[in-house]
A and B are shown apart, each in its own frame.
Chain A
Amino acid sequence: MKYLTEYRDAKLVRGVVDKIARIATRPWTIMEICGGQTHSIVRYGLDQILPPSIELVHGPGCPVCVTPLELIDKALAIAARPDVIFCSYGDMLRVPGSGRDLFSVKASGGQVRVVYSPLDAVEIAKQNPDKQVVFFAIGFETTAPANVMSVIAARSLGLKNYSVLVSHVRVPPAMHAILGSPSNRVQGFLLAGHVCAVMGYHEYPSLAEKYRVPMSVTGFEPLDLAQGILYTVRMLEQGRVAVENAYARTVTFDGNVPAQNAIHEVFEDCDRTWRGIGTIPMSGWRLRPEFAAFDAEKRFDVGDIQTKESPLCIAGQILIGMKKPHDCAAFGNECTPEHPLGATMVSSEGACAAYYKYKK
C-alpha cells in the first residue's frame, strides 16, 4: 500500500538499525509510551534486530489497560439497565470488571454495541429516542477529540438521551509520575506519535529538561520506530537533552489546535486513577460542569462499588516499565488472552497480549 509498505521496508529498517548499532556505545533503557508502539515492535520483531545494549520497556499507553476498575464496574452497571444502549470501542468489551465483563452483560441481555466512532453512538441516540444511549469515552489525548465532538454534536442536536461515561487519561502526567519514581530506570522516551498529532509536543521540553531525559516523537511503523530509537540514542550518546520529532510527516510542534480547543471546551483536568498503577494527580480529563447534563455518572445512580483485583498479575509494574511480561509467573499459564488476569493481556495494545501473540 502506498505510504505504508515504504515504512515496512526491511532494507530501510536495517539501515537505520545499523546506524543505531554504530553509535550506541553503552546500554540504554528507552520507554515507548504507547501500546500501539509496543504492539508494532513485537509484531515486526524490531526488538530482535536492535543491538542488545538497547532495551525497550513498555509504557502505560494502553487506554484499555489503565481504565480504572471502578469505571468498568460503573459501565457494567449502566450497560445492564434495560433502558440503555451502551456503546463502546470494541476492546473494552473484554476488560474484566469485578466479576463480569461487557460480553457477559451482552450475553445476559444488555444492549451493548461496538462502535468505531463516538459519532455513531450519537446517531444511535438519534434513532432511538426512547432509549438512553451511553458512550464509554475512554482513552488518551488521541480519542479525546472524537469523544468531545460527540458531546458537542449531541448538544447541538438537542439530544436528551445521550451521555458519556468519561475516563480520559493524559500522557505527560504519567511520564511525570514514572520519571519521579525512585525506582525509575527509563533514560529516554519514544513519545506517542498519535497523541502528539493531536496535542503537538510543546508539553514535553520542560519535562525532558526537568528530568534530563531526551525524547523523540515517534510513529508506529517499523521504520518510524527505528528512526525514533535512533534519535533518542543519538541524544543519549551525545549527552544532549531535547525533544526531537521523528514523525514529522504527521506531527507538528503545535499539533491540531482546533481539536485541542474542542477538548478544552468540553473537558477539564482532574485526578485520575490508573488501573494497576494508582492515582496520578491531574492526569485525567472529565466533563466541565457546563456539560454535566451529558455525564452518565450523574444521569445513572451507579453508586459506590467494591473492587478487587487478582494478586497474581504484575500488570502495574509492566505498565510503568519495571517488568516485562515474561517476568510474570502467570503469563501464558493462568493468564492468556481468552482468560486474562490483567488488563495488559486483554487489549490488543496491551504489552502482555502483544508478547503472548507474537513471542510467547
Chain B
Amino acid sequence: MDTPLNIEGAVCPVPLTHNEQIVMGHGSGGKMSHDLIRKTFLAAFDNSILRTGDDAAPIAVNGTRLAISTDSHVVTPLFFPGGDIGKLAVCGTVNDVAMLGARPLYLTAGFILEEGLPIETLQRVVESMSAAAKEAGIQIVAGDTKVVEKGKVDGLYINTTGIGEILPNVNIGGAQAKPGDVVILSGSIGDHGIAVLGARGELGFTSAIQSDVAPLNHLIEAMLEADKNIHVLRDPTRGGLATTINEIAAQSKVAIHLNEQSIPVKPAVNAACEMLGFDPLYVANEGKLIAIVPPESADKILTAMRSTKYGEDAVVIGEVKEDVRGRVLMKTAIGTTRVVDMLAGEMLPRIC
C-alpha cells in the first residue's frame, strides 16, 4: 500500500488518426468533417467558388447572381416533435441558399427508399415537404427516386438541391465579418438536437422540446429590407453555435467574443443538456441563424428580426474584435473569459 509511485515513468496511448476509414466523427460537422472536406473533396474539386466555404455557392450566369446548395438528410427517427425528415430536407436547403442573402426559388429532391417502407410513411413525408415548400415560397421542380434492398438505408434518405437569386446590393459571406461588428442570434439554441434525441428515446425521460426546424428565408428578407448592410449570415446546424462561430472567425480572420449569459437556451433544453453532459453550444439547430452586422445597422436589423415569426427572440450575443484572430472567446457566467472551440469529432449521436 505504501509503495511510492514511479511517476517519472508514466506513459500514454498511441495516436489514432482515423485516416484509413470513415467513422461517425467524419459526419459530425466538426473538425473531423472539415479535415475530410479539405483533404479529400477540396483537394479533388478545388476551385475558387468551392473555396469560399459558405453554406451555399455564389455563381453568376449571364450577370445574374445565383446561390446554389445541396444537402442530404438522414435523420433518425423520420418523425420527431416539431418536424420530420421532409420538412428538414426542404428547410435545410432553403436556409443554406438564403444565407447568402438570396431568395430561394427552386428545389430538386432525390429520394433513396428502403425496400418495405410503407407508402403511407412516404406520403406523410412528401406532404410535409409540400407544406414546407409552400411556407418558404419555393417550388420543387425535379426529383429522383431510387429503391435499395432492405437494410441498406434506414427508411428513407432525401437529398435536396436548391437555387436562388442573390438580391441586388447584397454581399454576404462567412469571410465578411469585420472588427467592430455585432453578433446577433435569432433565438434559443439546442432545440432541434434535443428534440431528436428525445424522439429516439435516448433521454431516458420525456420532454416537451420541439425541433426548431423552419424556413428562414422570410426572416432574412425582412432583415435585408430593413438594412442591406449585413456582413455574415449562417445557420448553426450540426456542430452547433460554437462550431459555426468558429468557422466564421477562421474565414474572416477575426476574433469573436461571445457573452455566455446572453445566449438564450430554453430551460428544458438546458436541463436535458445538464443531465446528459452536453453543452448546448454544440447541439444542432435547424431554424436559427447568426447575423454579423455593422454596429450602426444592428438596431434596425434586430427590430426587423423581432417582428417576424422565427426571429422574435433575436438577441445580441457578442461582438467581432481583432485581438486573437481566428479564435472565439466567451465571457463566462462568473465573468471570466474562456476559449470556445469547434466540435472535435462525434460528441452526440448523429442528428441530421
- Quick check: B21 and A180 within 8 Å, CB to CB? no
Task: Judge if B338 is at the interface, Cβ distance under 8 Å.
Answer: yes
A283-315 contacts to B (CB < 8 Å): 308-315
- Quick check: B16 and A96 within 8 Å, CB to CB? yes
CB distance from B273 to the nearest CB of A (A): 10
Q: How far is the CA of A44 from the CA of B334 in the complex (A)?
A: 7
Say which one of B6-14, B69-77, B109-117, B287-295 lies at the interface with A. Answer: B6-14
A1-32 contacts to B (CB < 8 Å): 1, 4-5, 8-10, 13-14
Q: A interface, how many residues as a size bin?
A: 35 or more
Residues of B within 8 A of A312 (CB): 12
- Quick check: B11 and A340 within 8 Å, CB to CB? no
B22 and chain A: residue at smallest CB distance = A107
CB distance from B22 to the nearest CB of A (A): 6
- Quick check: A96 and B13 within 8 Å, CB to CB? yes
Q: How far is the CA of A173 from the CA of B332 in the complex (A)?
A: 35
- Quick check: A317 and B10 within 8 Å, CB to CB? yes
A311 and chain B: residue at smallest CB distance = B11
Per-residue contact bits, chain A 261-298, to B (CB 8 Å; 1 contact, 0 not):
00000000000000111101110000000000000000
A26-68 contacts to B (CB < 8 Å): 42-46, 48-49
Q: How far is the CA of A275 from the CA of B12 in the complex (A)?
A: 7
Q: How far is the CA of A311 from the CA of B32 in the complex (A)?
A: 25
- Quick check: A336 and B344 within 8 Å, CB to CB? yes
- Quick check: B18 and A103 within 8 Å, CB to CB? yes
Per-residue contact bits, chain B 185-223, to A (CB 8 Å; 1 contact, 0 not):
000000000000000001010000000000000000000
CB-contact partner of A10 in B6, B14, B24, B334, under 8 A: B334
Given A14-B334, A104-B23, the answer on whether A341 and B14 have CB atoms closer than 8 Å is: yes
- Quick check: B349 and A114 within 8 Å, CB to CB? yes
- Quick check: A309 and B14 within 8 Å, CB to CB? yes
Residues of A within 8 A of B13 (CB): 69, 95-97, 275, 309-310, 313, 315, 340-343
Task: Judge if B307 is at the interface, Cβ distance under 8 Å.
Answer: no
CB distance from A15 to the nearest CB of B (A): 11
- Quick check: A314 and B12 within 8 Å, CB to CB? yes
Residues of A within 8 A of B299 (CB): none
- Quick check: A316 and B1 within 8 Å, CB to CB? no
Residues of B within 8 A of A358 (CB): 338-339, 341
What are 26 contact pairs spanning A and B, CB under 8 A? A5-B333, A13-B334, A42-B338, A44-B338, A45-B332, A95-B13, A96-B16, A98-B14, A101-B16, A103-B23, A103-B24, A103-B346, A106-B23, A180-B4, A183-B7, A281-B1, A308-B14, A310-B13, A312-B12, A337-B345, A338-B25, A341-B12, A342-B13, A343-B12, A356-B341, A357-B339
Q: How far is the CA of A308 from the CA of B18 in the complex (A)?
A: 18
Residues of B within 8 A of A10 (CB): 333-335
Per-residue contact bits, chain B 25-60, to A (CB 8 Å; 1 contact, 0 not):
100001110010000000000000000000000000
Residues of B within 8 A of A348 (CB): 277
CB distance from A243 to the nearest CB of B (A): 20
Task: Judge if A339 is at the interface, Cβ distance under 8 Å.
Answer: yes
Per-residue contact bits, chain A 214-257, to B (CB 8 Å; 1 contact, 0 not):
00000000100000000000000000000000000000000000
Given A182-B4, A359-B338, the answer on whether A99 and B346 have CB atoms closer than 8 Å is: no
Residues of B within 8 A of A143 (CB): none
Residues of B within 8 A of A276 (CB): 10-12
- Quick check: B1 and A282 within 8 Å, CB to CB? yes
CB-contact partner of B12 in A14, A316, A336, under 8 A: A316
Q: How far is the CA of A35 from the CA of B157 in the complex (A)?
A: 40
Task: Judge if B225 is at the interface, Cβ distance under 8 Å.
Answer: no
Residues of B within 8 A of A1 (CB): 267, 270-271, 274
CB-based closest 3 A-B pairs: A316-B10, A45-B336, A313-B12
- Quick check: B334 and A49 within 8 Å, CB to CB? yes
